[in-house]
Amino acid sequence: MTVETICVDTQPQAIIRAAQLLRRGSVVGLPTDTVYGIGAHAFLPQAVARLYTIKRRPRDKAIPLLIAGLETLPRVAASVPGVAYRLAERFWPGALTLVLPRAPQLPDVITGGGDTVAVRVPDHPVTHALLAELGAPLATTSANISGRPAPTTAQGVLSQLDGRIDLLLDGGDCPAGTASTVLDLTVSPPQVLRAGPLLAALKSWL
């Protein structure tokens, strides 16, 4: 289904509008500290399912979550080990995604039928403002068709997803330009699933 994609700046009224749309089940494009993403309200399964359709993403490939802060972690993850809190205190907000046991209240569509969830706190003012206004985690994945490059500009998002998402917050260029480091804490020792920008800094923790 084709929709009209509205591209707006990141003024406070635009953030409020984006949060309102997310509560209604819409999908919003947004800048982060790594790359542009598309997000849906994490506790609205039908909205999360749209992310898979928009990206042409396999349904067994889980969707990561963005949360506002460490205090939100128990809402989305269960049996959080102490090392997760230590890593979060050191690297959040930032480009570190932690894979943890999922909380039972998370919709199954987020985890792709699995028992884990990938979580991070982004280091970007627009994303922070949107999470605060929404008051809920965002199921967020890079704003590209699966298999194509993840965009770092709003124009890059539109080149792939115009007509597929409801709203795009244009926050300029993303500062990092590369996807986050992903660390699986459900195995011992922890396993790096994606190198990302923090791999070197993590070496002293692994």
For residue 48, the model assigns a pLDDT of 98
The whole-number pLDDT of residue 24 equals 97
As a whole-number percent, the residues of the chain with pLDDT over 90 amount to 90
Structural domain containing residue 78 = 6-205
Residue 151 lies in a domain: yes
* Structural element, H or E, at residue 17: helix 12-23
End-to-end CA gap in the chain: 45
Q: What is the mean pLDDT of residues 155-164?
A: 97
Chain CA centroid to CA 194, Å:
15
Confirm whether 186 is domain-assigned: yes
Please report, rounded to a whole number, the percentage of residues in the chain having pLDDT higher than 70.
100
What confidence category does residue 178 fall into, taking pLDDT thresholds of 50, 70 and 90? confident
- Sequence-distant (≥ 6) Cβ neighbours of residue 137 within 8 angstroms: 42, 43, 65, 66, 67, 68, 72, 75, 76, 119, 131
Q: Count Cβ neighbours within 10 Å for each residue of 151-168 and write b for 16 or more, e otherwise.
A: bbbbebbbebbbebbbbb
Kindly state whether residue 148 falls inside one of the protein's structural domains: yes
For the segment 164-176, the average pLDDT, to the nearest whole number, is: 94
Distance (Å, rounded) from C-alpha 16 to C-alpha 20? 6
For residue 205, is pLDDT > 80?
Answer: no
Q: What's residue 114's pLDDT?
A: 94
Q: What would the pLDDT profile of 102-134 be if each residue is shown by its tens digit?
A: 999 999 999 998 999 999 999 999 999 999 999
pLDDT for 206 equals: 72
Mean pLDDT value across the chain: 95
Give dist(CA 138, CA 30) in Å, integer.
11
Contact 103, 69 (CB under 8 A): no
pLDDT at 51: 97
Residue 1 lies in a domain: no
pLDDT in tens, 66-88: 999 999 999 999 989 999 999 99
- Output the pLDDT for position 1: 64
Angstrom distance (rounded) from CA 113 to CA 116: 9
11 within domain boundaries: yes
Residue 43, domain CATH = 3.90.870.10
Q: Is residue 19 part of a domain?
A: yes
- Asked whether the predicted pLDDT for residue 143 surpasses 80, the reply is yes
Residue 156 lies in a domain: yes
| Number of independent structural domains in the chain | 1
User: In a 10 Å sphere around its CB, with 0-12 CB exposed, 13-18 middle and 19+ buried, how is residue 143 labelled?
Assistant: buried
Quote the CA–CA distance of 116 and 139 in Å, as a whole number. Answer: 14
Determine, yes or no, domain membership for 34. Answer: yes
Tell me the one-letter amino acid at 140.
Answer: T
Task: Report whether pLDDT(30) > 70.
Answer: yes
